[in-house]
Amino acid sequence: MKTIKTVAFIGLGVMGYPMAGHLAKQGLTTRAYNRTYSKAEAWAKEHGGTAHATPKEAAEGADLVLVCVGNDDDVRQVTTGVDGVLSTMASGSILVDHTTASADLALELDNACREKGVAFLDAPVSGGQQGAENGALTVMCGGEQHHFDAVAPVLNHYAKAVTLMGPASSGQLTKMVNQICIAGLVQGLSEGLHFAEQAGLDQQQVIDVISKGAAGSWQMDNRHKTMIADEYNHGFAVNWMRKDLGICLEQARRLDATLPVTALVDQFYADVQRMEGGRWDTSSLLKRLRKPE
């Protein structure tokens, strides 16, 4: 694979904006596209890259194209759609999809890329907005080893861990495991904090004690303070988590895997949405348990 010097980043949301910024900061020629063009212009002004009106325009001449958008349909629009990146990507270039999407889509894109002579990796990320801003994401990849070896040094600019999990779709399947585990952890933390509150315990003191033992987790370390304060206007939104859990549950049905806790927590998040909390952070499961003032 040739040396990657020019990259295109498609999707400048809360994750993509800082991720693309890390690439520009490392001296890569970075071409940016966002559905709202003014945001791409603002990014280019801040980071020194260039803004483009369509995905295909951004991808033209790029050695590597990175996509980070909302869902399967969004990915299709910016990749195989009329103005999608595959219409201008050159043979020998590489497409990496960071969107959390279905395994079916990963296989679909892998086939579409092969027809164009383009390499493909599905590479969903974990770590949230904070991880993107700090360059500390975890990236789980599916694809071929030599393609992974070519892009890993670039992905390392915004990641603390980049791992090839297997062939195409393996990254998405691994991300499903990640979301399944998180769902149970957040519900458990919410119930624990709720129990402590109802029992009249000092919630912070409780966390200080139990976080040093087997109950400790990333969720506990990074979300307990805002949960205790009943603050949820940050982090990964409930709406997106329900999208991800829907993907997990659909895949589980195909695999004959049983996910009772995941299915239950998905419905708890539906309750949060009915509380008009779709944009709240996923830790808002605690809000559902607390009695109204």
For residues 135 and 105, the answer to whether their CB atoms sit within 8 Å is no
Q: How far apart are CA 184 and CA 33, in angstroms?
A: 35
Residues 6+ apart with CB under 8 A from 211: 220, 221, 224
Residues labelled as active-site residues: 175
Q: What is the pTM of this model?
A: 0.95
Q: What pLDDT, on a 0 to 100 scale, did the predictor assign at position 208?
A: 98
Q: Return the structure tokens found at 289.
A: 């348990």
Mean pLDDT confidence for 43-65: 98
Q: How far apart are CA 132 and CA 41, in angstroms?
A: 20
Q: What pLDDT, on a 0 to 100 scale, did the predictor assign at position 106?
A: 98
Q: Return the structure tokens found at 102.
A: 């279905």
Q: What pLDDT, on a 0 to 100 scale, did the predictor assign at position 217?
A: 96
Q: What pLDDT, on a 0 to 100 scale, did the predictor assign at position 291?
A: 72
